[in-house]
Amino acid sequence: MDLKIDALTHRYGTTEVLADINLDIPTGRIVCVVGPSGCGKSTLLRFIGGLERPTEGQVMQLSDPPADSLNPFTFVFQDFALLPWRTVDGNVRLVLEDHGLGKAEMDRIITDVLTRTKLADFADALPKNLSGGMKQRVAIARALAVRPAVWLMDEPLSALDAQTRELLMDDLVGLWLRTPFTAVYVTHNLAEAVRLGHRIVVLSRRPGMVRKVIDIETPLENRTAGDPALAAIEQELWQLMRDEAEAADQELIA
Ligand SMILES: Nc1ncnc2c1ncn2[C@@H]1O[C@H](COP(=O)(O)OP(=O)(O)OP(=O)(O)O)[C@@H](O)[C@H]1O
């Protein structure tokens, strides 16, 4: 589903958090949003997901969500947000309940998404028995199950160690190559943005304004570690972020 963020500004009380954000989110593309702490990245996701309304401007849906989408705007969070008393199967099943699906259809969807996230052998496991990477794969399976029109991903890999993060990035690329999805992906990690983003949006410190939009033409499947073109983009991102991050850091201390 194509989205357009149009002149979006938001204030909490007298504090301006986002200022005049204009941004296109095309269907089938991963749009990464980077920026210093507190610049409004998570707030922007909430507006896109319709959880809050901005003070000014709007998020426009330029096309309809797919007819079979059970939850057009689906969040994936850093902390996995799994129910500890439900099994892997039960956590995925939860989001399918109340949609009028028969048991056989639910079972079919669950088998499919657990297979796609390499969790087929862990359907009966409880979250407490899973590694961080597996927990996040459950969260991804749960999102796949409802066939989102747009994935809203808020630092989904930030709680994971570096190796697990690499594996999960490969998994996300694999899932996207199989069925391209639309995502807005918030991250602090520039390497992650360069690995996963078709478009990278750099926000300034608060109030978050769009400082730069970088489109990366290299197909996701060709983004190998050490690629000089990608390294140059990461370096450019860091140059842009550095001043903003330093200034934001000073503001937090002051
Ligand atoms: N409900 C709210 N009421 C008041 N202020 C809020 C609310 N939600 C967020 N803020 C403030 O808005 C600003 C932006 O917050 P937000 O969480 O969107 O930033 P962020 O870029 O996602 O930060 P981080 O990278 O640290 O997660 C912060 O100063 C935060 O304190």
| Structure ipTM | 0.96
12 CA distance to ligand 1 centroid (A)? Answer: 9
- Atom from ligand 1 closest to the CA of residue 52: 1
Nearest Cα to Cα of residue 29 among 145, 178, 196: 196
Calculate the alpha carbon distances from 223 to 127, 196, 238 in Å: 32, 9, 18
State residue 107 phi and psi, 5-degree precision: -60, -40
Protein residue with least CA distance to atom 26, ligand 1: 37
CB 41 within 8 A of CB 229: no
195 CA distance to ligand 1 centroid (A)? Answer: 26
18 CA distance to ligand 1 centroid (A)? Answer: 10
Residues 6+ apart with CB under 8 A from 187: 32, 33, 34, 155, 157, 158, 193
Decide whether any atom of ligand 1 lies within 6 Å of the 43 Cβ.
yes
Q: Euclidean distance between the first and final Cα of the chain, in Å?
A: 42
CB 173 within 8 A of CB 209: no
| DSSP classification of residue 32 | E
Protein residue with least CA distance to atom 28, ligand 1: 38
Preceding amide of 207 cis, omega within 30: yes
Decide whether any atom of ligand 1 lies within 6 Å of the 42 Cβ.
yes
Nearest Cα to Cα of residue 47 among 145, 123, 150: 150
161 CA distance to ligand 1 centroid (A)? Answer: 25
Q: Extract the tokens encoding 209.
A: 């304004």
**Angstrom distance (rounded) from CA 228 to CA 26:** 27
**Angstrom distance (rounded) from CA 70 to CA 131:** 28
Which residue is listed with tokens 């390499």?
118
233 CA distance to ligand 1 centroid (A)? Answer: 27
Protein residue with least CA distance to atom 8, ligand 1: 43
User: Along the 254 residues of the chain, how does pLDDT read in single tens digits?
Assistant: 899 999 999 999 999 999 999 999 999 999 999 999 899 999 999 999 999 999 999 999 998 888 889 999 999 998 888 999 999 999 999 999 989 899 999 999 999 999 999 999 999 999 999 999 999 999 999 999 999 999 999 999 998 999 999 999 999 999 999 999 999 999 999 999 999 999 999 999 999 999 999 999 999 999 988 899 999 999 999 999 888 878 777 776 55
CB 184 within 8 A of CB 45: yes
Domain ranges in the chain are 3-65+149-253, 81-148
pTM comes to 0.94
Class of domain 3-65+149-253: alpha beta
Protein residue with least CA distance to atom 18, ligand 1: 40
**Angstrom distance (rounded) from CA 20 to CA 48:** 15
